[in-house]
Every structure is written in C-alpha cells, then in structure tokens.
Structure 1
C-alpha cells in the first residue's frame, strides 16, 4: 500500500540521475550505483527525520510514519510494482525473488511482498543507533550500512554475515 505523500518524494529520487549514463535516462535497478544512491537517499531522509526529532522540530511518531512511508514507496519500487516509467526492473525485482531472498537472508517474518519495507525500517533503526557514535565512526557505520543494504537489494549477501531478528 503506497502513501500519497511519499510518492512525490520517491518520484523525485527516481528522476534520471545525471551522473549515470543510463539509456533513455532511466534508472536500472540492476545497476549498483542506482541502488546505492536510492539506499543513501533513504538513509539521508531517515537521518534528517531523526535529527528533527532530536531538535524538537518533529514528533517522534511523525518521523517514524514518514520513514515508513518512504520504505513502503521503495518497497513498491524494488518489487517492481511502483509504476514509475523511469525505472528499469528485472525478473529479480519481485516478491518471489527479492522478497524471498530478503526474508531468508535477514530472517524476516513478513510476507515476501513486504520484505523490502521491513529491511529498510530495520536499516533506519540501525542508522538511528549510529547517531550515538562519534562523527567519524558514524560516517563509517552509515557507509557500511549503505553498502550492506545495497548488496541485499542486488541479491548479494553482504561481506559480513548478518544475523538479524526484526520486529517492525
């Protein structure tokens, strides 16, 4: 289920990326650069929401709802159901393939058609915990989280084995 308010933000993220040489200015979900940029944008949106909560500019429930809307919209993108014409999907981008892979790799107890969202919510939680680290450690942790999430969305096991239980 897609949120109306998240769709314009995700659509903006999926505008043809100028640094990429994609045919016909489309974003290929098989391209590691595209996937990393989408994950990084999600992380940046999450960091911004958490910082707004810390500064008292945003209620925690509103921040969580906003992050969930973004995760839900990206769930549709990565599972090939978003309808965005600027996105090139592959047979991998289905609940039966990507959803099942995430369910197995990240030990998700969610339906396969909701596993990208669940993984992204867990990622946002990890980012929130990274805010407690000193600046240089935080940047390193956020970069590692970005790479691991991109690897998962591309169907690769992250370099470090993960053993995660997610209660979202």
Structure 2
C-alpha cells in the first residue's frame, strides 16, 4: 500500500470547498471541517456500497478508505502542501494528535491519530449500513458531527460517551 497520499487525492477532497470559503479552507471553520468529514464519510459509504454490490473488492475498498484517511491526516496536520488550506497551531500532532489520542483512547502515534480516528469512523459507518434507512441517516449525521467536533478540539456534546466506538 502506498504510504504517501498523492496531492490529487487531497485536492479532490478540498475541491468543493473553495467556492464556499472564497479560496481558503480554514481548518478552524466548523463548516470546512464538517464538509471534509462528510466528504470522507460519503467516500467510505460509496466504497462499502460497491463492495456490497460486488463492484469492488473488499481489500480495494479498505485501501481506498485508508488513502483518504491518510490524505486527511496530512491536511489536518498541515503537511499536505496545499496552499489554500489554512492551519493553526492546533493542527499539529502535539495538539490535535494528543487530543484525539486522549479523547478517543487511540493507541497510535500522535502524528497518525487523525487517520486512526477516521478509520474507526469508517468502521462505525460500516455498522450503520445495517440500520434501517431513517436510523442510518441519523447515525451518519451523529457520526459526522462527532468527528467534526473532535477535529475542532471539542469532545462530542450529546452523551458522556463518544459515538466513535473504537472497541472493534
């Protein structure tokens, strides 16, 4: 598996955002972070659906989801090299990575915690596909909001527990 995400993958994740953000993708902007999370979720759900319909091998789906998570890891840590992404001191392994490691109880190095959290999110999405449509939509929305909150440095609000269950 390719360990370095290609810039076209990352740029594709950010493609719809410049129109909404006037050319800047500020990672302190909740709307930008939610759009990035939702883009990852949509890509993951599409990959899972393709696997279910036999249009994609499971290993290929997992590799694609991991590539997207790795790309977002570099975006959120400010190492993507994309000039229209505005990062802040928070967007570092020492800040965001440590927060994710502690809050979500990740057993990964701080510089890989965004990717790890997103992979766990994808696992939760896979389980959400088994729910009836209405419940699935609610679960996907809750997971989107929780993941965005985490990437903004906020523990999810609604429960004492974080919805992104990493016990699997």
What is the TM-score normalised by the length of structure 1?
Answer: 0.91
Partner of 1:66: 64
- How far off its partner does 1:8 sit? 1.4
Counterpart-to-counterpart distance in 2, 1:157 and 1:59: 35
Name whichever of 143-152 and 156-165 sits farther off.
Answer: 156-165
| Matches for 1:82-93 after TM superposition, within 5 Å | 82-93=80-91
| Matches for 1:1-168 after TM superposition, within 5 Å | 1-4=3-6, 7-15=7-15, 17=17, 20-22=20-22, 25-159=23-157, 160-162=159-161, 164-165=165-166
Counterpart-to-counterpart distance in 1, 2:13 and 2:106: 26
Q: What SS class does the counterpart of residue 110 from structure 1 fall into?
A: coil
- How far off its partner does 1:129 sit? 0.4
For the 8 Å contact 1:32–1:154, the answer to whether it is kept is: yes
Gaps of 5+ in 1: none
For the 8 Å contact 1:26–1:88, the answer to whether it is kept is: yes
Q: Deviations over 1:33-74 (max 9, x none)?
A: 000000000000000000000000000000000000000010
Counterpart-to-counterpart distance in 2, 1:19 and 1:124: 27
Paired residues in the alignment total 163
For the 8 Å contact 2:25–2:32, the answer to whether it is kept is: yes
What is the TM-score normalised by the length of structure 2?
Answer: 0.91
For the 8 Å contact 2:69–2:118, the answer to whether it is kept is: yes
For the 8 Å contact 1:122–1:166, the answer to whether it is kept is: no
Counterpart-to-counterpart distance in 2, 1:88 and 1:18: 12
